[in-house]
């Protein structure tokens, strides 16, 4: 009986490992810290999506110095005027 459970756990670990390899390092920030990070960049690129099953959520992703930063907010984040914004249908971030 324990063998299938062990295989399932092993498969879950493998899926998580593959997600990390595909995405690189993901750093979650609070919305205010995310907006502050954008102010440090001359012309930041931000991908944004709006969605959610039960409650609406705004998701933002941006690269910065080799890392990928993201945040989730129930309200729109105040973005600097110099942001290049890409409106995506959906953003998928592994829940690790």
Enclosing H/E stretch for 26: strand 26-28
CATH number for the domain harbouring residue 35: 3.30.720.90
Range of the domain at 80: 25-96
Comparing 3-7, 63-67, 72-76, 81-85, the range with the smallest average pLDDT is 3-7
- 6 within a domain of the structure (yes/no): no
| Residue at 9 is within a domain | no
| Domain contains 16 | no
Burial class (CB in 10 A: 0-12, 13-18, 19+), 34: buried
| CA atoms lying within 13 Å on the CB side of residue 25 | 6
| Residue 95 belongs to a domain | yes
Q: Residue 93's pLDDT band (boundaries 50, 70, 90)?
A: confident
Tell me if 74 sits within 8 A of 58, measured CB to CB: yes
| Number of domains the chain is built from | 1
Dig out the tokens for 7 from the structure.
């295989």
Contact status, residue 86 vs residue 44, Cβ threshold 8 Å: no
Q: Is residue 53 included in any domain, yes or no?
A: yes
This model's pTM is above 0.85: no
């Amino acid at each position: 009986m324990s063998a299938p459970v062990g295989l399932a756990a092993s498969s879950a670990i493998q899926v998580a490992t593959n997600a990390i390899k595909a995405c690189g390092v993901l750093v979650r920030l609070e919305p205010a810290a995310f907006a502050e990070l954008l102010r440090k960049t001359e012309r930041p690129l931000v991908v944004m999506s709006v969605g959610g099953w039960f409650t609406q959520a705004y998701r933002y992703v941006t690269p910065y110095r080799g890392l990928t930063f993201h945040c989730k907010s129930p309200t729109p984040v105040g973005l600097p005027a110099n942001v290049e914004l890409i409106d995506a249908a959906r953003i998928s971030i592994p829940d690790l």
